[in-house]
Amino acid sequence: MNDDRVVFDRRDFLKLVGIGVAGVTAGCAKPPAEKLIPYLVAPEDVLPGVPYFYASTCRECPAGCGLIVRTREGRAIKLEGNPAHPLNQGGLCARGQAGLQGLYDPDRIKTPLVKDGANWKAATWDEALALVGGKIAAARTKTVLLTGLETGTMRALAGEFGSSVGAKHVMWEPFGYEALRAANRATFGIDAVPRFDVGAARCLIAFGADLLETFLSPVGQARGFAQMRAQRDDGGGHFVTVEPRLSTTGANADEWVAAKPGTEFAGVRTKSRRSPTCRRKRSRGSRASSPSARRASRWRAASPPRARTAPRSPPRSTC
C-alpha cells in the first residue's frame, strides 16, 4: 500500500484512537451516584453499623452446639461457638461455620413448590396453605407431619400442631442416629442421642465412630479428646479405633484395628486384652458387678443376634 493512499499514518491512527479510548474511560469511569436509603421508621434498638449478637443453637447436625450469631442491620453475618455452652465451649466445626452458606444460598428454595407431574412448580404461600389444608381435611387421621430434627419448644409446637390435625409427628435426621437412640432406649430407657464424656475416659475404644469428624458432636468430642490425651503422663488416655477405613480419627488413635464393615464388635475381647491401659482398668473392678457392665450386658442381650456372631476373619491389629 502506498503512503499517499492512507488517510492517517500508523502513528496518527494510534494517537486518535488513544484519545478516544481515554475520553470514553474518563467519561464512564465514575460510577453513577450511589444512594443512601434510610429507614422509613427507625427501629429503636437497631443502629446501622453496630453489630448485634444473638445466642442460638446450630442445627447443621443433631449435636446442637451453642452459637453466637453476629447480625448487622437484621442480617446474620457470622456464626461462632458460644463459650458458655457446655457442649462446644466456644468451638464450632466447619459444618457449623458454613451454616450461613445455607441461609444465603442463591439456589435455596424460596417459595413452596407443588409437584406437577415430574416437575416442581412454584406456588404462593396462600395457594400452598389452601392445598395442604384441603388435603389434611380430606385425609383426617391418615396424616403424618414430617419435619427436620426439632427439639424443645419447636418439637412441642410441631407435636401440638400434629395432634390438633390428627397427624403423627415424624422427624427426619440426615445423620440418622436411630440406632444410637434405640440402644440408649434399651440400655437407659431414655429416648435421646447420648453425649459421651470423652474427656473423663481413661481408655477409649471407638467402633466405627469417627468422633473427631462427624460422629455426634465432633467439636465437643475433640475438646474431650484433648482432655483425655492430657492424662497420658500417668498412663491414661489410650485410644483404640476399630473401623473399616483409616479415618482422621483412626489416624489419631494409638491403635487402629481394621475390621470389615459390620464386624467391628467382634474384635472387642481380643483388643482390650492387648491394650495395657484397658486391661489394667478392667482387671481392677469386678466386671459383673459394675453398673456399666450390667448395662452393657443388657444392651448385648437386647441387640439383634447378628452383632454377636463371630466374624469370618478375625480383625488384625496394625501395631
Partner 1 sequence: MTKLVAVMIVCCTLVAASVALSQSFNVRMGETKGPVQPVNFSHKIHAGTNQMDCKYCHYGAANSVWANIPAVSTCMGCHKFVATDKPEIVKLTGYADRGEQVPWVKVHYLPDHVKFNHKRHVRAGFACQECHGPVQDMDRVYQYSSLKMGWCVSCHRKNLTNAEYPATMDCLVCHH
Torsion angles phi and psi, residue 65, rounded to 5: -70, 155
Torsion of CA 206, 207, 212, 218, to 10 degrees: -100
Pairing of strands 143-148, 167-172: parallel
Nearer residue to partner 1 within complex by CB, 24 or 84: 24
Write down the least CB distance from residue 150 to partner 1, Å: 36
Q: What does the binding site for partner 1 look like in residue numbers (CB under 8 A)?
A: 1, 5-8, 13, 16-17, 19-24, 26-28, 30, 33-42, 47-50
Look-up of cell digits 491403635:
255
State how far the Cα of 275 lies from the Cα of 78, in Å rounded to an integer: 44
> Helices 178-188 & 291-302, crossing angle to 10 degrees?
120
Cβ 77 to partner 1 shortest distance, Å: 14
CB 19, min distance to partner 1, A: 7
Residue owning grid cell 464386624? 263
User: Least distance (Å) from partner 1 to the CB of residue 70?
Assistant: 14
Residue (47 or 154) nearer to partner 1, CB: 47
CB of 53 to partner 1, least distance (A): 15
Q: Find where cell 443502629 sits.
A: 47
CA 242, distance to chain mean position in Å, is 23
DSSP element (H, E) containing 169: strand 167-172
Minimum CB separation of residue 6 from partner 1 in Å reads 7
Please, which residue, 5 or 269, has the CB nearer to partner 1?
A: 5
Distance CA 274, CA 105 (A): 50
Least CB distance from residue 9 to partner 1, whole Å? 10
- Could you give the CA distance from residue 213 to residue 304 in angstroms, rounded to a whole number? 28
Which residue's CB is nearer to partner 1, number 13 or number 120?
13
Judged by DSSP in three states, 128 sits in: helix
CA 107 – CA 77 distance, rounded (Å): 18
Closer to partner 1 by CB, 8 or 161: give it. 8
Closest separation between CB of residue 50 and partner 1, Å?
Answer: 5
Residue nearer to partner 1 on the CB measure, 24 or 230: 24
Nearest to 298 by CA among 180, 188, 182, 181: 188
Rounded CA separation 236/277 (Å): 7
> CB-wise, 17 or 190, nearer to partner 1?
17
Residue (5 or 306) nearer to partner 1, CB: 5
SS3 state of residue 317: strand
